[in-house]
Amino acid sequence: MSLNDLDDEVAALLDDADQRYTSSRRRLISALQAGDGPLTITQIVATDASLPQSTVYRNLTILEEAGVVTRIVTSDDFARYELAEKLTGHHHHLICTACGDVVDFSLDAAVEATLDKALDGAAVSAGFTADSHRLDLLGTCRDCAKA
Amino acid sequence: MSLNDLDDEVAALLDDADQRYTSSRRRLISALQAGDGPLTITQIVATDASLPQSTVYRNLTILEEAGVVTRIVTSDDFARYELAEKLTGHHHHLICTACGDVVDFSLDAAVEATLDKALDGAAVSAGFTADSHRLDLLGTCRDCAKA
DNA sequence: AGCAATAGTGAGAATCAGTATCATTTGCGA
DNA sequence: TCGCAAATGATACTGATTCTCACTATTGCT
Ligand SMILES: [Mn+2]
Ligand SMILES: [Mn+2]
Ligand SMILES: [Zn+2]
Ligand SMILES: [Zn+2]
């Protein structure tokens, strides 16, 4: 998805949610788009100092409700946000248990298909209605392995 | 793993960590063993009112450090704990996004093998050292679907 | 353009899950 | 049995996140 298409799609989603696409929200989208994985509030504020913390919190919540971003919770005390899969495509996360950093990765379509089929079976037999799956790899990133 | 074997294994893990297997800790293990998925602190205290909240928090941390229990974070504001996979076997979670409840499920060995292989490839190409994977299904549980 | 009415902003206060403190109790070893 | 280190549990504290509210920006209308 090109930058302009992304922008158009975000605008449409916000419009559907009766929300304006303000300059704070544009800056947030831009910050998230620049990262190679979900970002913490601290990381966002560090990236764009013109964004006050309270505005970041409030607007990320609104963007999440509008389906523009997704909130990711790992094991550390900091929530992370990324653009919704609707905008970036389905993918997974490498989570470093040493430094907390999270980066994206993808699996090939065949593996995803196998997985979806197996998960669908499990959901059905538990009377569970599945919306999506979440698959993370936990371990140590290159930087932390070096140190 | 039988109840006695579980008890022995927990005792051994605590011994390795130079921790005693006290009655509070026995009650915690018992509460976790009784659940069909990871439990919140509130659920544990509700199950066994003889356990003060501060003792539950402290001992769950100690049990986690000893490798006896695992802390699970979903998307709500409450951490959940379950017996470590070392004791219960590898499995996954159905997470209800409506009520927050979490229940266990398993995939068959062939799917796990396919998955592990694909994940290993992804880890290697990212320079990431993987310890384990975490796979959750997000959706709506039977009870919430009814309501 | 002028003028409400409505939406968004941002500094600071409040909330609350989780952690730290510490006086008291427990249980292991000599 | 005694002494001591570990554990307990009531309570205070911490800090990420949420709430408040006076102020500013934008929209829609004439
Ligand atoms: Mn991602
Ligand atoms: Mn489980
Ligand atoms: Zn790392
Ligand atoms: Zn539910």
Q: What is the pLDDT of residues A7-39, one digit of tens each?
A: 999 999 999 999 999 999 999 999 999 999 999
Task: Considering every ligand atom shown, identify the ligand nearest to the alpha carbon of residue A70 and give its number.
Answer: 1
pLDDT of residue A3: 76
Chain A touched by B140 (CB under 8 Å): yes
Amino acid at B55: T
Question: With 0-12 CB in 10 A as exposed, 13-18 as middle and 19+ as buried, what is B95?
Answer: buried
The answer for A 46-105 residues in CB contact with B (under 8 A) is 71, 73-75, 92, 94, 96-97, 103, 105
How many C-alpha atoms does A38 have within 13 Å on its Cβ side? 25
pLDDT of residue B18: 95
Per-residue pLDDT tens listing for chain B (147 residues): 677 889 999 999 999 999 999 999 999 999 999 999 999 999 999 999 999 999 999 999 999 999 999 999 999 999 999 999 999 999 999 999 999 999 999 999 999 999 999 999 999 999 999 999 999 999 999 999 987
A144's tokens:
């932390």
pLDDT of residue A40: 98
Distance B96 CA to ligand 4 centre (A): 5
Percent of chain A with pLDDT over 90: 95
- Summarize the confidence of residues A30-50 as an average pLDDT: 97
For residue A113, pLDDT over 70 is answered with yes
Q: How far is A110 from chain B (nearest CA, A)?
A: 10
State the Cα–Cα distance between residues A47 and B37, nearest whole angstrom.
39
- A139 with B129: Cβ contact below 8 A: yes
Cβ-based contacts of B123 with chain A (< 8 Å)? 94, 137, 139
Q: Are A17 and A65 in contact (CB under 8 A)?
A: yes
Q: How far is A138 from chain B (nearest CA, A)?
A: 5
Give the list of residues 6+ apart from residue B117 with CB closer than 8 angstroms, or none: none
Q: Are A61 and A18 in contact (CB under 8 A)?
A: no
φ and ψ at A68, to 5 degrees? -90, -40
- Summarize the confidence of residues A51-76 as an average pLDDT: 97
Residues 18-37 of B, Cβ under 7 A from nucleic strand D: 18-20, 22-25
pTM: 0.94
For residue A4, pLDDT over 90 is answered with no
pLDDT of residue A92: 98
**What's chain A's average pLDDT?**
96
pLDDT of residue A94: 98
pLDDT of residue B4: 80
CA–C1' A17–D15 (A) = 32
For residue A77, pLDDT over 80 is answered with yes
For residue A147, pLDDT over 90 is answered with no
Task: Considering every ligand atom shown, identify the ligand nearest to the alpha carbon of residue A146 and give its number.
Answer: 3
- Summarize the confidence of residues A94-111 as an average pLDDT: 96
- List the single best residue of B36, B92, B103, B129 to mutate versus A (max A Cβ within 10 A): B129
Instruction: List the single protein residue with the shortest CA to C1' distance from D11.
Output: B54
> Does at least one atom of strand C sit less than 7 Å from the CB of B119?
no
Domains of chain A: 1-89 (1.10.10.10), 90-147 (3.30.1490.190)
- Summarize the confidence of residues A80-85 as an average pLDDT: 98
pLDDT of residue B1: 67
- Summarize the confidence of residues A125-130 as an average pLDDT: 97
* CA dihedral of residues A124, A127, A131, A132 (deg, nearest 10): -60
- Summarize the confidence of residues A107-124 as an average pLDDT: 96
Q: Are A83 and A89 in contact (CB under 8 A)?
A: no
Instruction: Name the nt closest to B17 by C-alpha to C1'.
Output: D6
